[in-house]
Amino acid sequence: MTEYVIEANGLAKSYGDFQALKPTSFKVPLGRILGVIGENGAGKTTMLNAVLGLMSYEGNLSVMGNDPSKERGKLMQDVCFIADVATLPKWMKVSEVLDYVEGVHARFDRPKAMSFLNRTKVPLDRKVRALSKGMTVQLHLAVVMAIDAKLLVLDEPTLGLDIIFRKQFYASLLEEYFDEDRTVIITTHQVEEIEHILSDVMFIKDGEVVLEADMDELTQQFIELMVSPGNEEEAAKLNPISKGTTFGKTTCIYKNIDREELAKLGETRRLGLADIFVATMTGEGQ
Amino acid sequence: MNTYLALVKREILDGKNGYIRVPLILSGLALAMVFLSSVGIGELNLVRDIDHDQVHNIGDALNLAQQEEPADLPAAVTAGYWVMSALMWVAFPFVIFFSLLGSLYEERRDRSILFWKSMPVDDWQEVAAKLFTTVLVTPVIFFGVAIAAQLTSAVLLSVVVLFQGGPVSALWPLGLMISSWFSMFGHYVIWALWALPVLAWVLFVSAYASRLPFMWAILTPVIIILAELMFFDTHVFAEWLGRQLGGWQEWAFHDLGQGRHIDGPREALNMVFGAAQWEALKFSLTSMRFWSGLVVAGGFVYGAIELRKRGT
């Protein structure tokens, strides 16, 4: 039997007339890395806030058997998150942040946090206020990766970090943190950087979950065809979901069309997640 | 238990300017004044006017007092030490007020609430830790500093008096001093319980106000008082406020001084440091107003917890 970390049934949230999240149902199993992708204001943070017990909601939601809106304190034994804004207390020293987490969190492994921090230039006796933006994020990531949680939610975790650190972070998330007993949920704008580590993906648009899929299946569904000259008409007959031109050649994107068949008309290649996202969001992919 | 220690430690770190630096600086200032004036006391007009030819310094004054009022001297000295540490107690209500006012407001302003909420600590634990630290740990620190300051003044004065040739032992009424520490703290606890609805109101505002918490905390009661005066020409609310913030003592000690002739600092001190706490406790525990105040306090604390659950 699959163990689910999150089970949502008709989960919704509205502020007055505005529906930030339309009724949606989904399940997230254990041992996955789920990318939640959507434009700004699409409802990603709203959905995650509900899962994290940061706000009230309509519908049914169970996170590891708990109702997050009622049992946030208990839930946080097994769940950890980084919100999309810098939240570490600026008046605290780095070492005091570690002291505090050690004091309140039974599953915090301080030596592990130190080993992450030792790879960075974050000084322990400095106040968070005095750290650069990058160092603040490094500190926060070191803290959460040293917590033995079942569910880790990262909302735009690498915002403002340089490319080298971002690569390192995702590498160590995959190699040193992730295993089959944990689930990680990531939202980010830099889709290209995370698509190779994702096992599942969810697209959100205007408060609605428009796509929920296994990463491997999804990338097999979408095929881009660079049409060989003369085959344009035939390519158009197969109902491409979008059409364009690159280097004077026609390119078409297809969903659920046999790859063999397309290969006769030209060069085929798999579509990146970002392109799939764009194709889906523009409405033609559905 | 570990969680509570970590929470209280965090609160103290967060408020260390008010909780630790303010009493230290103010009592340091008071100590400097005590020391300077004790060295130069022979020159003070005040003492000259007392018209004792043989009093030239603090040592002489102590000698004289010991001869003439031996029974009252220890009490006078003890009371004197409290007067010397009075300066820091002026700051105390401000420290309490502003700590409570910022306790649930600042974390939302700087978004650190999202970090606190990512930890396995319930909202009620957070609110309780904030209230507990401000209302009980802060005074413990203040009392600690006051006690250290009293002992330091005693040492400083002893040195001065030693050189001036006075009775050093008269400066160390330790038994009285220690019992005064306990009874003053006991009195504070009763005061704080009476004031709890007001303190909890400030905590509630801190959780509620999206901005300008100071205005919310102060203007709301002012407007209620003015509105009551305008529409009903009464001042029930103002009286209630005054009573909870210390006015209750007028009733509590109503019988204490009556029909009694207070003769000298010893009896006054005995009364303040001895009987008064029991009177206050007895009065409070049998007062409906005391208990209804606690119920109001409970309401505000509950509100603060509910608001923190929703806050991001």
Task: Give the 3-state secondary structure of A154-199.
Answer: EECCCCCCCHHHHHHHHHHHHHHHCCCCCEEEEECCCHHHHCCCCC
Residue-level pLDDT, tens digit, chain A, 286 residues: 578 899 999 999 988 888 888 998 999 999 999 999 888 888 888 899 999 988 889 999 999 988 998 889 899 999 999 987 888 999 999 999 999 999 999 999 999 999 999 988 999 999 999 998 888 988 998 999 999 999 999 988 877 778 888 888 888 888 888 888 899 999 887 788 888 889 999 988 888 888 888 888 888 888 888 888 878 788 887 788 878 777 778 888 888 888 888 888 888 888 888 888 887 777 554 4
Is-contact B124 B181, C-beta < 8 A? no
Is-contact A203 A245, C-beta < 8 A? no
Q: Residue holding tokens 């509590």?
A: B252
Q: Residue holding tokens 């502003």?
A: B98
Long-range contacts, B73-77 (Cβ 8 Å, 24+): B73/B170, B73/B173, B74/B170, B74/B173, B74/B176, B74/B266, B75/B173, B75/B176, B75/B264, B75/B265, B75/B266, B75/B268, B75/B269, B75/B270, B76/B265, B76/B266, B77/B170, B77/B171, B77/B173
Question: Given the DSSP bridges, would you call strands A183-187 and A151-155 parallel, antiparallel or unpaired?
Answer: parallel
Q: Are A87 and B122 within 8 A, CB to CB?
A: no
The answer to pTM > 0.90 is no
Q: What is the CA radius of gyration of chain A?
A: 21
User: What residues of chain A, 193 to 252, have a C-beta less than 8 Å from chain B?
Assistant: none
Residue A176: both structure tokens together? 């040193």
> What are the respective helix, strand and coil percentages of chain A, to the nearest 5?
35, 30, 35
Q: Are A52 and B117 within 8 A, CB to CB?
A: yes
Q: What b/e readout covers B132-158, taking b as 16+ CB neighbours within 10 angstroms?
A: ebbbebbbebbbebbbebbebbbebbb
The angle subtended at Cα B235 by Cα B231 and Cα B237, nearest 5°, is: 105
Return d(Cα A52, Cα A69) in angstroms, integer.
8
Distances (CA, A) of A185 to A44, A165, A195, A200, A229: 11, 19, 12, 9, 43
Q: Please name the residues in contact with B159: beta carbons below 8 A apart, sequence gap of 6 or more.
A: none
- Chain A partners within 8 Å of B309 (Cβ): 72
Among chain A residues, CA nearest to B112 = A87
Q: Is B114 on the interface with A (CB under 8 A)?
A: yes
Among A216, A278, A223, which Cα is nearest to A251's?
A223
- Chain B partners within 8 Å of A56 (Cβ): 310
Return d(Cα B260, Cα B90) in angstroms, integer.
30
Residue A247: both structure tokens together? 């280097």
Return d(Cα B252, Cα B239) in angstroms, integer.
16
User: Looking at the partner chain, which of A80, A90, A92 has a beta carbon nearest the beta carbon of B118?
Assistant: A80
Return d(Cα B108, Cα B169) in angstroms, integer.
55
The angle subtended at Cα A47 by Cα A44 and Cα A53, nearest 5°, is: 135
Q: Are A103 and B3 within 8 A, CB to CB?
A: yes
The alpha carbon of residue A100 is apart from the nearest alpha carbon of chain B, in Å, by 6
- Chain B partners within 8 Å of A53 (Cβ): 117
User: What residues of chain A, 137 to 156, have a C-beta less than 8 Å from chain B?
Assistant: 140, 144
C-alpha torsion sign, points A234, A237, A240, A246: positive
User: Looking at the partner chain, which of B10, B13, B120 has a beta carbon nearest the beta carbon of A105?
Assistant: B120
User: Looking at the partner chain, which of B7, B111, B125 has a beta carbon nearest the beta carbon of A87?
Assistant: B111
Q: Is B239 on the interface with A (CB under 8 A)?
A: no
- Chain B partners within 8 Å of A73 (Cβ): 120-123, 125
Q: Are A80 and B6 within 8 A, CB to CB?
A: no
Return d(Cα B184, Cα B262) in angstroms, integer.
20
3-state secondary structure of B295: helix
The size of the A-B interface in CB pairs under 8 A is: 85
Q: Is B109 on the interface with A (CB under 8 A)?
A: no
Among A130, A144, A139, which Cα is nearest to A161's?
A139
**Number of alpha carbons in the 13 Å side-chain half-sphere of residue A251:** 16
Residue B27: both structure tokens together? 């009592």
List chain B residues with pLDDT less than 70: 1, 40-56, 251-276
Indicate the residue type of A38.
G
3-state secondary structure of A211: strand
Among B220, B217, B197, B191, which Cα is nearest to B300's?
B197
What pLDDT does residue A223 have? 86
**Number of alpha carbons in the 13 Å side-chain half-sphere of residue B276:** 24
Q: Is B37 on the interface with A (CB under 8 A)?
A: no
Is-contact A75 A66, C-beta < 8 A? yes
Q: Is B17 on the interface with A (CB under 8 A)?
A: no
Q: Residue holding tokens 């570990």?
A: B2
Q: SS3 sequence, A84-128?
A: CCCCCCCCCEHHHHHHHHHHHCCCECHHHHHHHHCCCCCCCCCEH
Other CB atoms within 10 Å distance of the CB of residue B200:
25
Residue B274: both structure tokens together? 């001895």
What pLDDT does residue A285 have? 44
Question: Given the DSSP bridges, would you call strands A183-187 and A222-227 parallel, antiparallel or unpaired?
Answer: unpaired
**Number of alpha carbons in the 13 Å side-chain half-sphere of residue A8:** 22
Return d(Cα B241, Cα A110) in angstroms, integer.
48
Q: Is B1 on the interface with A (CB under 8 A)?
A: no
DSSP lists the bridge partners of residue A8 as A26, A61
ipTM value for the complex: 0.88
- Chain A partners within 8 Å of B118 (Cβ): 52, 76, 80-83, 87, 144
Task: Give the model confidence (pLDDT) of A28-45 as tens digits.
Answer: 999 999 999 888 888 888
H/E segment holding residue B78: helix B73-84
Q: Please name the residues in contact with A126: beta carbons below 8 A apart, sequence gap of 6 or more.
A: A93, A94
Return d(Cα A15, Cα B310) in angstroms, integer.
14
Return d(Cα B187, Cα B206) in angstroms, integer.
27
